[in-house]
Amino acid sequence: MTGGAEFSASTTDDHAPLTPGWSCATCGAEWPCAPKRARLLEEYRADRAMLSVYLGSCLAAAAEDLPPSRGPSLQDRFIGWLPRGPRVS
Ligand SMILES: [Zn+2]
C-alpha cells in the first residue's frame, strides 16, 4: 500500500506519458497512472476546469495514436476517473 505517501518535489519521477503507446514513462502503467492522477488533482485543485481541458487534449492525442478498440474506452481512462461535483474535500 502506498496510501498516505506524499510526493516529493522530484523531477525524475514525472509520470509523463510515453507516446504513442500512452504508458507511463515512470511506472509503466496506462497513462494517466494512479500517481499521475493524484498529482494532477493536486496541481489543478484550484482550477478543475483546466484539468478537464488538459485531459481532453491528451484524450484527443491518444485517440490519434492508439487503435480504436482497446478495452475500456479512452474517455473513461482519461476523464472518467475525475471526481464528480464542483468540490471535493
Ligand atoms: Zn506512473
Distance 71 CA to ligand 1 centre (A): 19
Angle of CA points 30, 36, 40, to nearest 5°: 135
C-alpha cell at 51: 484539468
Distance 19 CA to ligand 1 centre (A): 13
61 alpha carbon – ligand 1 mean position (Å): 18
Residue ranges near ligand 1 (ion) with Cβ within 5 Å: 15, 24, 26-27, 33, 35
pLDDT in tens, the chain (89 residues): 544 445 544 456 899 999 999 999 999 999 999 999 999 999 999 999 999 999 999 999 999 999 876 566 899 999 999 987 655 45
Domain definitions of the chain by residue range: 32-78
